[in-house]
């Protein structure tokens, strides 16, 4: 820092402001001289040493249930983009849906002296999460954790389910089967299933049923295809995993996609346009969800004491051949 200050002809305090949080206190001319001196000398501040000295690490933790899930990857990219924009680094821990791994990762994140935490898990270790929340701000993504008073950023599940049903009904489908992953306490799965059941009860022209991605799914799909009903049949898959599982099983059953049955999927994945005439989807704004999660955390780090808030994003309907109009 002394070398940078000497070359730029400024004080060491000005250099410290430039590489810290007070760059706005410098004039444009001084900031430019410091920037040029840093580039000339190849100076790189030791962020860990700075963090220890100031009591700040500029590290943000993110706890995810399944790092292989495309949703988690997309949200993580949004979080990391926002972190980089504001001078923070992201530490990601994957619990792999394992409660013991979640406990170990929470302990590790605490030891890293993270400044805030973004959580996308079932939150089975509620006591540990509460203890950590007393020490630092925390934001939940996608999944609600009961009795944890934190901001929540995710999809408006009820509105998304209504979008799906409205679209299927307008296309002439009358017999609809919701396929969800197995219920394990994940709030989003419960919200989508409950919204589907409630909305179908309000539409007497339609018949709605619910099944899960378990060992009975193939038999349930076969029965759904064969059973008489009020009209054309369609599947509504509640996430990407349910969509992939259902599509594979329909092919194994010899179903002609998408003549024998319609399909609308919640989530938008890269392979959807490649199946038959394409799978109609309800895309989540995953990148924006990740950015908003970090911005919520940043506001809390800056002292925002407002009550916890819900940020629920709308889904975007992308129509493809899997929901062609039926007579």
Q: What is the pLDDT of residues 160-180, one digit of tens each?
A: 999 999 999 999 999 999 999
Residues in the chain: 327
C-alpha distances (whole Å) from 201 to each of 9, 158, 212, 277 are 74, 14, 20, 31
Q: Which domains does the chain have, with CATH numbers?
A: 2-45 (no CATH), 57-155+287-313 (3.40.50.2300), 157-284+316-323 (3.40.50.2300)
Whether 45 shows a pLDDT value over 80: the answer reads no
Spacing of C-alpha 121 from chain mean position: 11
Where do we find the tokens 């004039």? 27
What local confidence, expressed as pLDDT, does residue 43 receive?
A: 81
- C-beta atoms surrounding 170 within 10 Å: 10
Given a contact cutoff of 8 angstroms between Cβ atoms, the answer to whether 8 and 41 are in contact is no
pLDDT tens digits, 84-131: 999 899 999 999 988 899 989 999 998 889 999 999 987 788 888 888
Q: Which of 290, 277, 286 is nearest to 321 (CA)?
A: 277
- The candidate with the shortest Cα–Cα distance to 192, out of 155, 224, 221, is 155
**Contacts for 172 with CB less than 8 Å, ≥ 6 apart:** 231, 232, 325, 326, 327
């Amino acid at each position: 820092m002394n070398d940078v200050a000497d070359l730029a002809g400024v004080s060491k305090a000005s250099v410290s402001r430039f590489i810290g949080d007070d760059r706005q206190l410098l004039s444009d001319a001084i900031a430019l001289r410091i920037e040029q001196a840093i580039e000339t000398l190849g100076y790189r501040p030791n962020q860990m040493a700075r963090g220890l000295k100031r009591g700040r690490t500029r590290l943000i933790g993110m706890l995810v249930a399944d790092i292989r899930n495309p949703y988690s990857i997309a949200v993580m990219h949004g979080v990391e983009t926002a972190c980089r924009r504001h001078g923070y680094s992201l530490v990601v821990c994957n619990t792999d849906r394992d409660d013991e791994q979640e406990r170990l990762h929470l302990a590790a994140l605490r030891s890293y002296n993270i400044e805030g935490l973004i959580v996308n898990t079932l939150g089975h270790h509620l006591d540990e999460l509460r203890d950590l929340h007393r020490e630092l701000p925390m934001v939940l993504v996608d999944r609600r954790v009961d009795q944890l008073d934190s901001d929540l950023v995710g999809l408006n599940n009820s509105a998304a389910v209504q979008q799906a049903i409205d679209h299927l009904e307008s296309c002439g489908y009358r017999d609809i089967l919701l396929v969800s992953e197995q219920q394990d306490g994940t709030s989003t799965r419960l919200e989508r299933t409950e919204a589907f059941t409630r909305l179908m009860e309000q539409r007497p022209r339609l018949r709605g049923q619910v099944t899960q991605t378990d060992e009975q799914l193939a038999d349930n799909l076969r029965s759904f295809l064969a059973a008489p009903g009020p009209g054309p049949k369609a599947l509504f898959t509640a996430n990407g995993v349910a969509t992939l599982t259902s599509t594979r099983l329909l092919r194994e059953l010899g179903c002609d996609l998408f003549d024998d049955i319609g399909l609308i999927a919640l989530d938008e994945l890269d392979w959807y346009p490649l199946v038959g005439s394409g799978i109609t989807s309800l895309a989540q704004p995953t990148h924006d969800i990740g950015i908003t999660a970090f911005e919520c955390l940043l506001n809390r780090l800056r002292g925002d004491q407002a009550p916890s808030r819900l940020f629920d994003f709308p889904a975007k309907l992308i129509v493809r051949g899997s929901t062609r109009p039926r007579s």
